[in-house]
Amino acid sequence: SQKIEQNSEALNIQEGKTATLTCNYTNYSPAYLQWYRQDPGRGPVFLLLIRENEKEKRKERLKVTFDTTLKQSLFHITASQPADSATYLCALERSSYKLIFGSGTRLLVRP
Amino acid sequence: KAGVTQTPRYLIKTRGQQVTLSCSPISGHRSVSWYQQTPGQGLQFLFEYFSETQRNKGNFPGRFSGRQFSNSRSEMNVSTLELGDSALYLCASSPAEVSVREQYFGPGTRLTVT
């Protein structure tokens, strides 16, 4: 069955450093992959979408890469800030109209 | 544009009761998806509606049902509540029509079953 794996351990980094989060998937070749941010007690917020024919996508301090051979996406936050502390989720459209989410990685940015 | 709204925000029910949750999508969005989020299972897909038709559903028992109205507002119903149904129920709308990319989530309804 389709599996989406994200590092369950929290990532703890110093302010100003680059945070890199990983999303690995199996048994599927998605047309695109999405990243969301979720703060405690709130709904996820859409951040970026990258298509299978795109190697890299950027939005302000965010960068996403998509390697369909490795079945992996990397999510980078450059010049990280304490306000970036949240849980980050990756998601794939598993079958038509059904979005499957990874379990998320919690990011903690220390001032 | 106003965001996705969900009502009620908090709900406490007793085992065996039923509950109805409501979701109003962003204006112009016709796709509405529902998710259950628990600490142990993460975000689990319940079902997706588009123009009043259910296009896909997740692996949940038949006690979980939903519907969508002509104005794209959606409701989900859980009958015969169980303790394990305690969760955050999230609704999301999408501007896409042939996929469910770029979903916009509501704040969720926190359901506690006692």
Instruction: Write down the residue that tokens 């990280």 correspond to.
Output: A80
Q: Which residues of B touch A (CB under 8 A)?
A: 4, 31, 33, 35, 42-43, 45, 48, 50, 55-56, 58, 88, 90, 92, 99-108
Length of chain B counted residue by residue: 114
Residue A41 is given by DSSP the state T
Q: How high is the pLDDT of residue A1? A: 62
pLDDT(B10) > 80: yes
Q: How high is the pLDDT of residue B25? A: 97
pLDDT(B105) > 80: yes
Q: What's the CA gap between B94 and B30, in Å, rounded?
A: 7
Q: Sorting pLDDT into bands at 50, 70 and 90, what band is B40?
A: confident
Question: CA angle, A2 as apex, B61 and A38 as ends, to 5°?
Answer: 80
Spans of chain A below 70 pLDDT = 1-2, 94-95
What is the residue-averaged pLDDT of chain B?
94
pLDDT(B22) > 90: yes
CB contacts, 8 Å: A6 with chain B: none
Which residue in the set A32, A41, A96 is minimally distant from B55, CB to CB?
A96
- Lowest-pLDDT choice from A67-76, B56-65, B90-99: B90-99
Q: How high is the pLDDT of residue A98? A: 84
Q: How high is the pLDDT of residue A94? A: 67
Q: How high is the pLDDT of residue A7? A: 84
